[in-house]
A and B are shown apart, each in its own frame.
Chain A
Amino acid sequence: MSAVAAPAPARAAAGKPLPPVSYKAPIAYGAVAAVALLLFGILPASGRETAFTMFAPGENIQFSVPSKLTAIVLCLIALGLAAWSFQAARTRRKVGVWLPAVYAVVLVFALLTWAVAGKAQPLPLTSLLQGSLFLAVPLVFGALAGLVSERSGIINIAIEGQLLAGAFLAAVVATITSSAYVGLIAAPIAGALVSALLVVFAIKYVVDQIIVGVVLNVLVVGITSYLFSTVLRENSATLNAPERLPTLPIPLLSDIPVIGPVLFRQTILVYLMYVVVIVLQVLVFKSRWGLRMRAVGEHPKAADTVGIKVNRTRVWNTLLGGAIAGLGGAFFTVANGLAFGKEMTGGKGFIALAAMILGRWSPKGALAAALLFGFADNLQVVLGIIGTPIPSQIMLMTPYIVTIFAVAGLVGRVRAPAAEGVAYVK
């Protein structure tokens, strides 16, 4: 179903399926786990404890584990997983995604156990997850925006601009109407307007889509900063003081230990994000709209020959994408009750673009990639809070380095929609 599905059985059955034995992955797993065992387990002094906390309804659960022993056990589990994957490779069996996932979780915990060992502050697990989700929100919206338009064949480099425009309009409208919700409704309009420019130039005037996208980012930064310096500066109370969206805990669900408060004590924007991810995941791959959108992005001429209006489909999807990004832009202002500030999206649109590619143009992939980035970013924050001897600038690099490792090590070659970036002119 997903675009990167395994090859169909037709041919595999025909030939003799004898996958080449590749030990690259197992060796990498093993090497990293061994280094981790040395660094986190064997070398550090013994006798220290690592404390963790997590929220449960009404209380804070705190527990401690012996650092050295725990780290050693975790690293050994990772080594075991490496051995498992080695065995799987030897017998030519495919391992599921669970293996790298569990492996990564285990090693991250080993790292945390080591990093927090002996610290006065416990490691707040709930808070770690909460912040990861928080930082991932705009990335998820941005990545989904890119996905919707790129799946239909229009490259959307303008995500950053769409986020920024959404943030701007949401703040201004929310302030004027004194309603965060009205601001939230305005945000997608701003994003869609940016998309409208994108489609006018990319489809009507057949300008290279990347050029348009790059330039639109500059344009939106220019316009919003200009208006901020001129109009908003003088009237910040009347134009740029948005209300905050209220937090709406979902009864029962929000009381689940650890993940309840993380997932279900959120604003409507985050719930919308869940909805959008799930709905898109279903619709992109299972609905008429999704099928047509993907057809137009993969092989527009084929779509045309079955009566699908290629450019119309592209226009609507790109506008929809812009609207989704615009909605994500509301995160920066009304969702958190913050006033608009110059360039306040701080390059998140580009990270979202990376998340979309890393997630292979699928909604759940985009979600996973955004969460990975959010987690890496927040891990850096949380470790900073607990106290680390590493300079802040180096800590701040973490999420970017993690992303490079993810794209180089785990993902490798990804396949973009085939007709992406190519104007459809009959």
Chain B
Amino acid sequence: MTTSHALAPALGTGRSPFASLVRQREVPVASALVVLVIVTTIANPLFVSAQGVKDLMLNATITVIMAVGLGAVIITNNIDLSVGSILGLVAFGTGSVFAAAPDIPIVFVFAIGLALGALLGAINGFLVTVARVPSLVITLGMLYIYRGVNNAWAGGQQYFAGDRPAAFGRLSVDTVLGVPIITVIAIVVVVLVAVFLARTRPGRDLYAIGSDDEAARLFGIPVSKRVLTAFVLNGTLTGLAGVLYASRFNSVGATTGTGLELDIVAAAVVGGIAIFGGSGSVVGAAIGAVLLTTITSSLTALNVDKFWQQAIVGVLILTAILVERIASIRKARRLRTSEATNA
């Protein structure tokens, strides 16, 4: 009766490489990015000059890393609103480390930053999984707490790029084959996390949990452990972003990273990660982050009135979730009718 006989072609789940490529969730956002770059370049060729491209990559780097981390959390149907505060703490921590030990090897600084980020992420994950409280509430609270700690720690103190070794600052200046070093780091991060999520068992568990956590529990997936992993991963990557922030920008202080959280959520959502978990990929989130940072540059390059920029970003976010929704409705309908005809 209702088993799906020979439904592969009807559903388009056939193995035609092109067909399956087109159905990737990353496609709409990637196309939007390409179109945006092309249009901007036509109007202003400088947009893709060596410097222009370098700037675009640099701008996207930190957002990309954070969007990838948060993406992993959202895939489990959780959220971490405290990422802006975590970034601020780590960035200021980086400044402090250099101030305290100017000759410290840069690798150590990265290690410290990542560890601090991981710790903060772990606190969030711990509260969410142990107390079984919705992550939105917990991390909203932690947003305030971490920011408060940052303020208390930093006070009026700020550390400037000049306080840090030149080699550290050069990470966000020097390039490898035209790609800034910190961007290379970001690309490596995207690839590693993407492989982790797509090709390892714990990674796939995250999707299963986001898809239906009750079923995951029944299935014997260690749900709490995995969710904790996602939060720690997110914290670690946000920590990395914090260190890179200190490398790239002039000053780090009490307010660094304020208000970043919604931008990062927006990047992940625009990149096709469903806000209620279970689907999407961190590659999509990364492209979403690139799209959102590029659109700002692009509007400036196009001399679009700066007052319109934010409104356009808003429209973009709404469009992204609309497209996503329409695609999923169509898919559901296709699947349903194919069931019916096969019944």
Tell me whether A and B are bound partners.
no
B interface residues with partner A (beta carbon < 8 Å): none
